[in-house]
Copies of this chain bind each other. A is one copy, B any other.
Amino acid sequence: MNRRGKKFWVGFDLGGTKMMATIYDGSFKAQASAKAKTPVNEGPKAVLGRIRETIAEALKEAKVPLRALSGIGVGCPGVLDLDQGVILEAPNLGWRKVPLRALLAGWFHCPVVLANDVDAGTYGEYRFGAGKGARTLVGVFPGTGIGGGCVYEGKLLRGKTGSAMEIGHVPVRENGRLCGCGKRGCLEALAGRLAISAEVAQAAFRGEAPYIAANAGSDLKKMKSGLLAKAIKAGDAAVERIVRDAMRLMGRAIGGVVNLLAPDIVVLGGGLVEAMPRLALEEVRSGLKETAMASLVKQVKVLEAELGDDATTMGAAALAAEGGR
């Protein structure tokens, strides 16, 4: 293949447990990918080294020389300084003040753009997935926590230090469960995957979720989204009720966001939604109707995300190609 004169972009998804680099051509067709585990326990330098190797591997696999590389976009966890290209604090990675943009630019000799990971995923769905053509797109990605993003008239809504749209920390219950952020009653403390797992473990311990008890005991670590979906299929009624209530509560919170941002599309993604899309969409739509104004409910479509794990790398690559906005 003659790659002379063509432009290529790297989209990078930096997670707390794994990372992925994908090479895209100018029309954002994937050319090759490389994945690796994130060696958080080996310290920041090891993680940085692994990032460099993973990108180099993907470039090699795609046969893209450095001179054909136009830019790198990175979806990052944590609190960012977008102007400086620094990860200020990423508890998942054990990082503080890591100048990731400068490091990557030095290694690969190209412009680098950082974005919040959920923002990158939302932007990916906006450009290439279920959110195409939206005037106002809200993306909600329930995983261990619940992340959110918004593309308004073609641009990501952002705060001073990176991401806005912390929908996981919207208050939904006065004096509700304690959240990782130190407040009580945040959406993610009540309806994130961890909150669901904790409630499911309680039920399993009481003997009310036999499939879960047999396959995960009462260990939260083992209660991933896929297992929850299997337990529901196997007839664990308590698990179904817990998941449905959580999704409905998330829908109620999204309804509040609809009242604020009046989106035309809400995209739902993330592990929990991928494991049980029908149930999740049904309950979110029903919760949303409980709280969103009737005139706004009429205008909004609630859709399943289309790109899965590729949303973040595609979005990050597109942001890099567009200079970071």
Say yes or no: A262-B299 contact (C-beta < 8 A), given A171-B252, A181-B293, A294-B181. no
Any chain B CB within 8 A of the CB of A169? yes
Task: Contact check, A161 vs B295: say whether CB atoms are below 8 A apart.
Answer: yes
Q: How far is the CA of A290 from the CA of B148 in the complex (A)?
A: 21
Contact partners of A264 in chain B: CB under 8 A: 160
Nearest neighbor of A170 in chain B, beta-carbon distance = B256
Main secondary structure of the interface of A (DSSP, over half): mixed
Contact partners of A172 in chain B: CB under 8 A: 171, 174
Task: Contact check, A174 vs B173: say whether CB atoms are below 8 A apart.
Answer: yes
Task: Contact check, A293 vs B173: say whether CB atoms are below 8 A apart.
Answer: no
Contact partners of A262 in chain B: CB under 8 A: 158-161, 163-164, 166
Q: How far is the CA of A76 from the CA of B51 in the complex (A)?
A: 54
Task: Contact check, A260 vs B161: say whether CB atoms are below 8 A apart.
Answer: no
Across the interface, A293 reaches (CB within 8 A) one of B152, B166, B253, B261, namely: B166
Across the interface, A261 reaches (CB within 8 A) one of B79, B157, B161, namely: B157
CB distance from A182 to the nearest CB of B (A): 7
Nearest neighbor of A160 in chain B, beta-carbon distance = B299
Any chain B CB within 8 A of the CB of A136? yes
Interface contacts beyond A157-B261, A160-B264, A169-B293: sample of 7 additional A-B pairs, CB < 8 Å, sorted by A = A79-B295, A152-B152, A159-B261, A166-B296, A167-B259, A170-B260, A185-B291
A sample of 15 inter-chain contacts (CB < 8 A) reads A148-B260, A152-B152, A157-B261, A159-B299, A160-B299, A166-B259, A166-B262, A169-B259, A170-B256, A171-B255, A173-B174, A181-B293, A181-B294, A183-B293, A260-B261
